[in-house]
Amino acid sequence: MTDIDPMISEQHQAVVCDPIGFTFTTPDLILNIIRPLIDAHSLPALLSLSTISTNFEQIIRTSETFWKELCHQRWKGKWGFQRRWEAALKQYDVFNECQERRDTRVTFWRQRYFEEEQDATRESIGARELSSLTFDFRFWIGQPIVVDERIVVKSGLLQSASRDVRFRWNDEEPQIEEGSDDWFSHRGVLTGHPCREPGIEWFMNESSIIQWGFRPNLWPRGEIRRTENWGWEIRNPNVVMRAIDTLPSLDDDTATETEAEGGHEC
């Protein structure tokens, strides 16, 4: 029977049980190594590593640096990045200052990551949030033009008809007249419409169904929906409007993608 050094035996067991933790002995070292691998789609793969390394599990559970970087990579290509990022930074400062509310089990950036993921699935919008947005307005079908003695109708999506559409709302004004059976719950004034005529009103219900025009003959009803990049879109049979990101990401990769898509930052 061969004698085995107890120290070697323990090291062998450590390698078998936790090879990453044995090789990279501290969470900070692991974090420095994986930081270049963190991107908007890496979370599932990185989470799977936590099952084979206690040090990595500690990073996933407690590292603000890890989750902050993950938030940045995830958000930088999304609509509203600058506002979302700056708001999170300010709230993180408040979080650190409130010592009496500190809970060592709470990781601010991890919690914020999943909060934003949940919010991105929200399909409804309130009147206050709607009124804070500026929209790019495009017709589905463009104006007919004559080319080589032929009438040509191009897609209206190729050219913006207005980039200053606002759904203005005053919460101090009564939204529904007493005794009314109107379908809407919020109303206001629409400005920046391509027709440039004053007096256009808008109406919206709690299900984010919206309609606008000159009463009593309003234009067709539309719906407000979320885009894949977390922005907002309004569409009816005639037009489509997308919220403009007034503070787009300054990230080089995102800027390149925007230019490739024709610079339509909506």
Residue-wise pLDDT for 67-112, tens only, equals 898 899 899 999 999 999 999 999 999 888 775 556 566 789 999 9
Task: Give 135's pLDDT tier (boundaries 50, 70, 90).
Answer: very high
Q: Is 195 in contact with 43 (CB distance < 8 Å)?
A: no
**Number of Cβ atoms within 10 Å of the Cβ of 21:** 20
200-215 pLDDT, tens per residue? 999 999 999 999 999 9
pLDDT mean across residues, the chain = 80
Least confident of 6-20, 134-148, 158-172: 6-20
Contact partners, residue 195, CB within 8 Å, separation at least 6: none
What pLDDT, on the 0 to 100 scale, is given for residue 176? 63
Task: Give 250's pLDDT tier (boundaries 50, 70, 90).
Answer: low
What pLDDT, on the 0 to 100 scale, is given for residue 167? 97
User: Between these two residues, 211 and 172, which has the higher pLDDT value?
Assistant: 211
Please tell me the distance from the alpha carbon of residue 236 to that of residue 210, in angstroms, as a whole number.
Answer: 9
pLDDT surpassing 70 at residue 247:
yes
**Number of Cβ atoms within 10 Å of the Cβ of 219:** 15
Contact partners, residue 255, CB within 8 Å, separation at least 6: 248, 249
Please tell me the distance from the alpha carbon of residue 116 to that of residue 6, in angstroms, as a whole number.
Answer: 50
Strands (E), the chain: 134-139, 145-147, 150-152, 162-168, 186-191, 201-204, 209-214, 217-218, 222-226, 232-235, 239-243
14-23 pLDDT, tens per residue? 444 544 444 4
Best CA proximity match to 201, nearest among 193, 213, 191, 209: 213
Please tell me the distance from the alpha carbon of residue 266 to that of residue 258, in angstroms, as a whole number.
Answer: 10
